[in-house]
Structure 1
Amino acid sequence: MAEPYYRADSEDGDRIDDPSEDALFLMIGDLDRRGNTFLVVRPDEDDPPWSASVTLRPEADGGGYEVVRRIAEAYETVTTADAHGIAHDLTRWSAARPHPGRPAGT
């Protein structure tokens, strides 16, 4: 089996290698306030050049999710309540990032 290009890890210890949009949607849906408040998507390597996180926002701040995408030292943060949209966006965004060992153009 090929090495994964990236992975999604949740606070409660779940890990999915090369997660599909559906898998990310399910992981986002599994977030809760009892100890599984975030997940991180990143290359499967030490010191990754990019990452994204999805965190539950406090109810007092309107709930929903905060999504932070990082490339090198640049960060972009958005808030939304649309778990489907987050999963779709992160799938496309992650696929567009460089992955060591992946053939160019894939």
Structure 2
Amino acid sequence: MGARGYGVVSENGDHIEGASEDALFEMVSALNDTDNTFIVIEPDTDDPTWFASVAVLEEGGYEIVCRDSARHEHKVHTESDISRIALDLIVWLAARNIAGQRARRGTDFQDTA
């Protein structure tokens, strides 16, 4: 069961409401360096305060960006293991969906701020 309250959209128009780790794995796996180079994950609100994105890097692998302005987080991470990307994203997204609690620290994403 995936977390609710956010959507995932790819450059080629694929869209999933809330997504499981497996669905994120499939969407990242479908990325390529020509016409489907990124996915964006953001809450289903008019004025989102956070987002995450995964983009294909020219030199191989992926760049993952996670930004949450309400929590003053801006993290950028590069990774080539799609399983790891999906897991790290699902953990990060779970922290966004816990109302009234602070974000959980402890993923492998690196602060760039």
- TM-score (normalised: structure 1): 0.83
Look up the match of 1:56: 56
Look up the match of 2:23: 23
Look up the match of 2:9: 9
| Distance of 2:86 and 2:12 partners within structure 1 | 19
Consecutive unaligned residues in structure 2, runs of 5 or more: 102-113
Higher relative contact order (CA 8 A, sep 6+): 1
Q: Once the 2 structures are TM-superposed, how far is the Cα of residue 34 of structure 1 from its aligned partner?
A: 1.9
| Distance of 1:6 and 1:104 partners within structure 2 | 17
Kept in 1, the 8 Å contact 2:5–2:97? The answer is no
Deviations 1:4-42 (CA, angstroms, capped at 9, x unpaired): 501110000000001000000000000011210000111
Q: Once the 2 structures are TM-superposed, how far is the Cα of residue 104 of structure 1 from its aligned partner?
A: 6.2
Q: Which range moved further: 9-18 or 40-49?
A: 40-49
| Distance of 2:26 and 2:45 partners within structure 1 | 24
- TM-score (normalised: structure 2): 0.78
State the 4+ residue runs in structure 1 displaced beyond 4 angstroms. Answer: none
Aligned-pair identity in percent equals 46
Deviations 1:44-92 (CA, angstroms, capped at 9, x unpaired): 1122111100000013xxx100000001164210101011001011111
| 1:66-77 correspondence runs (5 A) | 66-72=63-69, 74-77=73-76
Look up the match of 2:62: 65
Look up the match of 2:81: 82
Work out the number of aligned pairs and report it.
Answer: 96
Look up the match of 1:46: 46
| Distance of 1:74 and 1:87 partners within structure 2 | 19
Look up the match of 1:92: 91
